[in-house]
């Protein structure tokens, strides 16, 4: 008797977003304006899901979700477009006070919170954040004292357990064994590992047969295995306009257009009409026909 055929986890952005409910906590991989799961974020914009808690090393994912009024709580270490230092929609949202709850962590604390969740620990200790206004602005943060001879007081970063995770990688097989080919995985594996099984979605530039994975890069690039992934979405150019090295660089001209439009309500309405009012295919077509 031959074993059952491998289970395919192929799905679409819209099916992935359909598993979400109002008020959920969503972690978004990538870093700033680098390898963000933008096609999944765009699907979120098309949906009527709201009141989200968003956890991110923020870039345009955070900006777009803020602009669409989807964010009830934001947990971040920074929000930036890299080549454009400040994210315009995020700035507007903060300056007009439209995000009801804001948690600003040190970058390393965010990693620690995700790591704690992935290890099913209630917290992990660190010094990062102590003495800064991070602990002033989030009075729910607590410290722990080392039980050993040093007796040092440390910050207990609480587990950032996610209801769902979105990441974008370079390659994956249809079972969710995924591969990064660029210079940095960022914290994508931790976002997946910190999320409840059932809503861990991975988009990729190309779905390939398992046997092909090691033709693209060394085994060191296989940091995400299928036990960490529930749904695989083939999304060529899916990280646009953020980068997805080595497949493509950031679309700087488009990012500039995005940032300029964000500064003016009329221009932003036109931007949304042109790029964000249809399907992902419509988006990619509009981008290509500029």
Site residues (CB under 8 A) for other proteins? 31, 58, 76-80, 85-86, 90-91, 94-97, 104-109, 111, 126-134, 136-137, 150, 152-153, 183-187
Residue number, 90 or 201, with CB nearest to other proteins: 90
CB of 155 to other proteins, least distance (A): 9
Specify the DSSP element, H or E, that contains 214: helix 213-216
Residue number, 43 or 185, with CB nearest to other proteins: 185
Q: How far apart are CA 189 and CA 177, in angstroms?
A: 11
Report which DSSP code applies to 108.
H
* Angle formed at CA 125 by CA 119 and CA 129, multiple of 5 degrees: 125
Residue number, 44 or 103, with CB nearest to other proteins: 103
Residue number, 86 or 253, with CB nearest to other proteins: 86
CB crowding 164-198: b at 16 or more within 10 Å, else e: bbbbbbbbbbbbbbbbbebeebbbbbbbbbbbeee
Q: Is 163 helix (H, G, I), strand (E, B) or coil?
A: coil
CB of 200 to other proteins, least distance (A): 19
Residue number, 39 or 242, with CB nearest to other proteins: 242
CB of 281 to other proteins, least distance (A): 32
CB of 93 to other proteins, least distance (A): 8
CB of 143 to other proteins, least distance (A): 11
Instruction: Look at the alpha carbons of 118, 122, 126, 128 in this order and tell me if their dihedral is positive or negative.
Output: positive
């Amino acid at each position: 008797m031959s074993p059952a055929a491998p289970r395919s986890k192929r799905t679409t952005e819209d099916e992935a977003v359909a598993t979400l409910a109002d008020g959920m906590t969503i972690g978004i991989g990538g870093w700033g304006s680098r390898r963000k799961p933008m096609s999944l974020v765009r699907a979120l914009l098309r949906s009527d899901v709201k009141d989200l808690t968003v956890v991110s090393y923020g870039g345009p994912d955070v900006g777009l979700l803020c602009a669409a009024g989807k964010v009830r709580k934001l947990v971040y270490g920074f929000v930036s477009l890299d080549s454009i230092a400040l994210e315009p929609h995020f700035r507007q949202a903060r300056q007009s006070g439209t995000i009801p709850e804001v948690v600003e962590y040190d970058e390393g604390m965010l990693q620690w919170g995700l790591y704690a969740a992935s290890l099913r620990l209630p917290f992990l200790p660190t010094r990062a954040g102590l003495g800064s206004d991070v602990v002033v602005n989030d009075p729910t943060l607590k410290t722990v004292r080392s039980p050993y001879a040093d007796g040092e007081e440390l910050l207990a970063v609480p587990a950032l357990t996610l209801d769902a995770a979105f990441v974008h990688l370079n390659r994956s097989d249809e079972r969710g064994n995924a591969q990064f080919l660029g210079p940095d995985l960022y914290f994508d594996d931790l976002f997946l590992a910190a999320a409840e099984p059932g809503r861990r979605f991975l988009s990729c530039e190309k779905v390939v047969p398992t046997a092909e994975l090691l033709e693209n890069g060394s085994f060191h690039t296989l940091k995400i295995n299928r036990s960490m992934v529930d749904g695989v979405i083939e999304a060529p150019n899916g990280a646009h306009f953020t980068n997805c090295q080595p497949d493509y660089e950031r679309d700087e001209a488009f990012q500039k257009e995005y940032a300029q439009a964000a500064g003016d309500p009329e221009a932003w309405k036109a931007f949304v009409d042109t790029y964000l009012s249809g399907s992902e295919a419509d988006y990619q077509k509009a981008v290509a026909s500029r």
